[in-house]
Amino acid sequence: MSFSIELRYHICQQPIDLPVFNPIALELLQLLADPDTEINDVIKIINKDQALSIQILRMANSAAYAGRYKSETLKDAVSRLGVKQITNLAMAASQAALHSSSIPVVNDMMYYLWLHSHACAIGCRSLANSIGHRELADQAYLAGLLHDIGKLYLLKAMEQIHLAGEIKFELDRETLLDVFSSMHVEQGFRIMYHWDIPPVYSSIVANHHADHFHPHDTLLAIVRLVNYMSMHYELNSFPRFVQPRDVDPEISVLHVNEESLEQLEVDMRASCA
């Protein structure tokens, strides 16, 4: 750790409710726990935030999601894609809006963090489908989107510390990368717990860099493999912190073949187009 203990202390003292989640997207995520959720319930929640509803419709009609058909209204989009996928789009749309800063170096890091997170979301969904785990596709998308949420929290925290002038430190790329390497997993898990995000996603945040994983944890294996491959596809701006050193265990457990990896690359690259 090359940054100061004082900086670590101030980061840990930042409010846990820094804006890393949109409240409407969180409400939708919690709504998924109710098996009796209806389309009109989802639309009612989304319509609380007009800007978010417009962005969701745009994403639903983008090349990554639209397929052969376009949706003219939010209700059309929910009917076509389903509650789970619309919830995923709501989370993605709201996350995209949160990845911005008035500080150039932080803004730059946020931009590339968003590209990486979105590419991993698309990649995890793609891989789940191609290896015969379609039942996990929606979960995989959200797991890929949120796995690095700790980095967004750290960027928001360091931005706040810098603007407040609480302590003097060099707010540059190297310092940000050092803080990421040391703290993004622990802080990511901390905020997932605080916001009562379902345990399946909290576990991904906590273990996507772990030395080992349980061979029956298919969702975690998918996220670890996709996160690793993002480095090779140049969709990860922080490659020196990607772990593990290889993903042979993940490939073996998931029974991934070359065709699946080729499709994964195509889909992940398309996410940034």
Which tens digit of pLDDT belongs to each residue from 191-225? 999 998 989 999 999 999 998 899 999 999 999 99
pTM given for the model: 0.90
Q: Does residue 108 share a domain with residue 45? A: no
Residue 85 falls within a domain, yes or no? Answer: yes
> DSSP letters along 149-203, please?
HHHHHHHHHHHHHHHHTSS----SHHHHHHHHHHHHHHHHHHHHHHTT--HHHHH
Residue 1 falls within a domain, yes or no? Answer: no
Q: How far apart are CA 126 and CA 192, in angstroms?
A: 24
Report pLDDT digits (tens) over 114-146: 999 999 999 999 999 999 999 999 999 999 999
Single out the residue in 98, 116, 132 at which a domain terminates: 98
Q: Is 256 helix (H, G, I), strand (E, B) or coil?
A: coil
- Do residues 129 and 183 touch, judged by C-beta distance below 8 A? no
Q: Does residue 131 share a domain with residue 90? A: no
Would you place residue 59 in the very low, low, confident or very high pLDDT band (cuts 50, 70, 90)?
confident
Q: Does residue 140 share a domain with residue 69? A: no
The C-alpha torsion from 189 through 190 and 196 to 201, rounded to 10°, is -10
Mean local confidence (pLDDT), 230-234: 89
Q: Does residue 267 share a domain with residue 141? A: yes
Q: Does residue 241 share a domain with residue 114? A: yes
Q: Does residue 244 share a domain with residue 151? A: yes
Q: Is 62 helix (H, G, I), strand (E, B) or coil?
A: coil
Q: Does residue 243 share a domain with residue 232? A: yes
Q: Does residue 183 share a domain with residue 61? A: no
pLDDT at position 241 over 80: no
Helix, strand, coil % (nearest 5) of the chain?
Answer: 70, 0, 30
In the prediction, which pLDDT does 131 show? 97
Task: Provide the CB-side half-sphere exposure for 110 (13 A, CA).
Answer: 22
Single out the residue in 41, 63, 98 at which a domain terminates: 98
Q: Does residue 170 share a domain with residue 87? A: no
The proportion of the chain whose per-residue pLDDT surpasses 90, expressed as a percent, equals 58
Other C-beta atoms closer than 10 Å to the C-beta of 27 total: 16
Would you place residue 28 in the very low, low, confident or very high pLDDT band (cuts 50, 70, 90)?
confident
Q: Does residue 244 share a domain with residue 109? A: yes
Residue 6 falls within a domain, yes or no? Answer: no
Q: Does residue 112 share a domain with residue 26? A: no
Single out the residue in 77, 98, 119 at which a domain terminates: 98
Q: What is the CATH number of the domain that holds 130?
A: 1.10.3210.10
Domain around 161: 100-273
Count: domains in the chain: 2
